[in-house]
Structure 1
Amino acid sequence: MDRHATGHRGGDAPHATVLRTVGSDIALLCRQVESIRTDEGVPRDVRERLAMIDNELSRIARLTGSAAVAPPVPRLPDDAESAHRLAGHLTEREWQCLELLVRGLNTRAMARALSVSVTTVRTHVQSLLAKLGVNSRLQAVALTVRTGLLDQPLRRGG
């Protein structure tokens, strides 16, 4: 049978096999990294490096598009100390945006409260999400409430 008659290129099957194998390997690495990262005896700096490795593995898994690996669920920082350290990089304006997010304000209301444009608020919010290592406003609020970020007395820029 002519390989073109089936509608498949000759290299598709080996390519798919490679992707499945790579996906399985990545899934195994993700599980191993997560297992080590969550061990209480692992020093904090090693846990942080493992978290970065885990994020990179997740990115690679998404790039392979392999059905063998579902991208891991984004993880919030696992302890208050880590969250407070990340929050130490927020500017005063980002702190203000975080406070307003926790109060439940939407972008327009935040812009009015801060006397800035909606675009400026979006920029501050995206920056604070990146600095906190979360993917959504909801995750930022959950992290803030769970770890008591707004209870800390000293803030950068303030």
Structure 2
Amino acid sequence: MSRAAAVPALRSGRVAWQLTVTLWVGGIWMLHFVLLPALESFGLAPMLTDEIGNFMRPLMVAFAAVCAVLQLVIAWSAIGGGWWKDLRGQLLMLVLGASAIFFGARFFAAGDYIELFCYLVLAFAGLILVLQPRPDETGR
């Protein structure tokens, strides 16, 4: 591959990384820490607020999992075979694992608590991921 062809591909990886991390982490945080508390303080019925949360949380978790897969592909192309040793790769695997447990928890009696825990794991793993440099910035 020529150097001229590698530069746009690298730039598109940068844009895709920033866009995906912004969308899924921002969406997770906005839903749980801004939108649902705002609906509660606005005076909507608690049952309606719970229904909105129960509808939106699985959508956001699925979106986070899809974005994490895309970010793993970007990390693999930038870092290489050692992506799983990198903190970003480990955080993305944590996101995928928490997403799988979130959807698997629907079959358990105490699934609501497990789902909420997994959702918060996603939120804070995403926060740590946002604070990390992009995979192309580390010089590897």
Q: TM-score, normalised by structure 1?
A: 0.34
Q: Which has the higher helix share?
A: 2
In our comparison, the structure showing a higher alpha carbon Rg is 1
